Chains A and B, each alone.
Chain A
Amino acid sequence: MFRSAHKLRSRHSLVSILFIWLFMNAIGAHGAIAPAAKKTSTSTADHTKFEALQQEFATAPDVTKACLTCHTEASKQIHKTTHWNWKITHPETGQVLGKKRVVNSFCGSITTNYARCTSCHIGYGWKDDSFDFTSEENVDCLVCHDTTDTYKKFPTAAGHPTYVDKPFPKKSKKIWKAPDLTKVAQAVGKPRRENCGVCHFYGGGGDGVKHGDLDSSMTNPPRTLDVHMGVDGLNFVCTECHSTDGHDLKGSHYTSVGKDTHGIDIPGRDDHNRASCESCHGDKPHEETVNNKINDHTNKVACHIPTYAKGGVPSKTWWDWSTAGRMDGDGKHLKMKDENGYVTYVTKKGTFEWGENLVPEYAWLSGEIRYQELEDRLDPNSVVPINTFKGDYDDPGARIWPFKIMRGKQPYDKGNNTLVISHLFGKDSEAYWKSFNWDRAIKAAMDAAGADYSGDYGFIETTMHWPLSHMVAPKEEALGCDECHSRNGRLAELTGFYMPGRDKSDLLDIIGWLAVLGTLGGVSLHGFVRVFFSRKRRNG
């Protein structure tokens, strides 16, 4: 008994030593505290004690006014960000991008659909073109800084929460509660995963629809779902990597960096951007062995996102608008689901396909992204790429990146061979979701955007690339070499370079094997003839 207890103790101390060693490593490797259960606030301010917040607030902008009494520069900072402007000029291409400008393959565009889309804008009241982007009180502080999870922007209120309890969808029994703005204002804190998630997990009209690597399963993900954000692991919040400088967050996919060559993020670095693998892991993160090929690969491929949409929430992979508008015999809207309970058809939006545990598709990515703009011509006989990333094997700034590729069919102008946008949401009869008349809906949106519409529309298949960078798996689940180094591996589609295991010269292989088999045949024949003659000699 005694001996085994002693043994147990020594094993115990061994485990502790191991644990301490792991802990020290974690500190050394990441400069951060090792797995923490719940992050407690270390703020020097208790917001319940501020007089400005001890009042009844009639509207959310009133809360902002109170915030600005202390945080005098906050709105001015927000005014400079993409989160506020939904507009960003790409530094290399000069293309003006952002939600305000681009056409996407989900609901198309925010133009004429503002009040619905801008329920995810960090402001209040962007319901039409006349929104004042210089308004300080219309900055929504709470959506990012609420810690009570009771503050929600109402889906059709142009960014406002509801101020009285009311049902949503209209006439349904689901009641959307008005938040207690005083309580919310007094409980503000640093953004948590929940805050970013209310918009970024639900982009495209629902949970997991748009990104594939961002959905509600990432609110409290296990380590196996996301090794960085896992609550049983490093427990990162979004801003751990999407670092901020005066409220300006890093890591927008509009300005994504294919390869971060600045090295590990330490004071004195020039880009203040932790939204890249290299900013923490450097460019040689693997232990060196006799076969150091693995570190040779970090500048080329991304092996650590083997699958996405893997947290139990499906992501939309196909959206066909051309089938929208069908009703049943009584003129009622249709809604269909498949055996998994995924919605496959709704009258307002058309046909969908979904997927879970999806294998990424791969393409070269450099920082240069381009979008198909409303005035750009398209080829009506091929699939139209909504966005493309410049980059190839010879581009030193490019890397093979995992993507979710969203596919579908959306309306286009058959006369002009351009993409079109549609007026979907609104109470007016031009809105597609009221009249189900594409022609009028397209004309209304194109007129509002000042774009030319020939009056002849059709539907065209499009692709849209979504770079994946979340749902990074623990290292044990990283892709093995043969996932790509095989005849029909993950990179089978990428051309312009030789990859062992995938590529070969058919001619050389034929000549080579003919030579080898010919030699084998030759010596066999030689041997056979020798045996034949020696038998003959012996018998004769």
Chain B
Amino acid sequence: MPNEMIYTRFERIWHWVLAILILPLLLTGFEIHGDYTMLGFEQAVDTHIIFAWALMGLLVFVIFWHMTTGEWKQYIPSSKNNLMAMLRYYAVDIFLGGGHPFHMTRKSKLNPLQRLAYLSLHVVITPVTWASGLLYLFYTSWGDWGLEGLSLTVVAMVHMAAAFAMLAFLIVHLYLAITTSEKPFGYVKAMISGYEKKE
């Protein structure tokens, strides 16, 4: 049985570019927040702004790709039963050596839990990060935009909250992506080659 192409070339490229952009954004973001010093405040802000624009540029293409290819449908939540099966797998069966309840195909790459997780990433965490980040960046223009009433404290808090959520998401993502395939790094390899190895 030939290996099935799961991740198309564009999908793989945007995944890894996203990875390359998100890590420095998190690192410089927490430096700007004053948690530690590495680049110095000015360099950290410069880097954060450059990477933020790059990320937003990438995401424009990614959104376009999702819309035109219909890939956005991958994130439509599945039935409650399927979700419960997935939860049961991660909470019980995975320890007992039970099999994964869902099989990954080109048409359905995401398990029910992933659908929900990525949906919240795409419709909550990312838009909140964008909106608060852009407001943060252009706070001197608020007057011109009729947003005098906005508080920088609130905008900064929202942006920070989104950053914490993104970091937590990343931790779970890395754990599951690296360790839960049949052999460690199996999913990572699939995201590089595009093919999931069949036994």
Please list the residues of chain A having a beta carbon within 8 angstroms of any beta carbon in chain B: 289-291, 293, 296, 480-482, 485-487, 497-498, 500-505, 508-509, 511-513, 515-516, 518-520, 523, 526-527, 529-530, 533-534, 537
Give B163's nearest chain A residue, CB to CB: A512
CB distance from B127 to the nearest CB of A (A): 19
Contacts of B94 in A (CB 8 A): 530
Range for the number of chain B residues in contact with chain A: 35 or more
Contacts of A516 in B (CB 8 A): 164, 167-168, 171
Give A521's nearest chain B residue, CB to CB: B171
Given A290-B53, A500-B32, A504-B34, residue A533 in contact with residue B41 (CB < 8 A): no
Say yes or no: B97 contacts A533, CB within 8 Å.
Answer: yes
User: Which one, B37, B49, B151, B164, contacts A290 given CB within 8 A?
Assistant: B49
B152 interface residue per 8 A CB criterion: yes
Closest 8 interchain pairs by CB? A512-B164, A523-B175, A482-B41, A481-B41, A533-B95, A498-B153, A481-B42, A519-B168
User: Which one, B32, B97, B164, contacts A515 given CB within 8 A?
Assistant: B164
Given A500-B156, A504-B34, A516-B167, residue A482 in contact with residue B40 (CB < 8 A): yes
- Name B's interface SS: helix
How long is the Cα–Cα vector from A518 to B167 in the complex, in angstroms? 12
30 CB-based A-B contacts, threshold 8 Å = A291-B45, A291-B49, A293-B45, A296-B140, A480-B40, A481-B42, A486-B34, A486-B37, A486-B41, A487-B34, A500-B32, A500-B33, A501-B32, A501-B33, A502-B34, A504-B34, A508-B157, A508-B160, A509-B160, A515-B164, A515-B165, A516-B164, A516-B171, A518-B168, A519-B172, A523-B171, A523-B176, A527-B179, A530-B94, A530-B179
Say yes or no: B175 contacts A527, CB within 8 Å.
Answer: yes
B46 interface residue per 8 A CB criterion: yes
Give A488's nearest chain B residue, CB to CB: B34
Please list the residues of chain B having a beta carbon within 8 angstroms of any beta carbon in chain A: 32-34, 37, 40-42, 45-46, 49-50, 53, 90, 94-97, 140, 151-153, 156-157, 160-161, 163-165, 167-168, 171-172, 175-176, 179
Contacts of B152 in A (CB 8 A): 497-498
Give A485's nearest chain B residue, CB to CB: B41
Say yes or no: A501 contacts B95, CB within 8 Å.
Answer: no
CB distance from A295 to the nearest CB of B (A): 9
Given A512-B164, A515-B168, residue A501 in contact with residue B34 (CB < 8 A): yes
Contacts of B97 in A (CB 8 A): 533-534, 537
Contacts of A529 in B (CB 8 A): 95
CB distance from A298 to the nearest CB of B (A): 11
Given A291-B46, A515-B164, residue A482 in contact with residue B37 (CB < 8 A): yes
Give B178's nearest chain A residue, CB to CB: A527
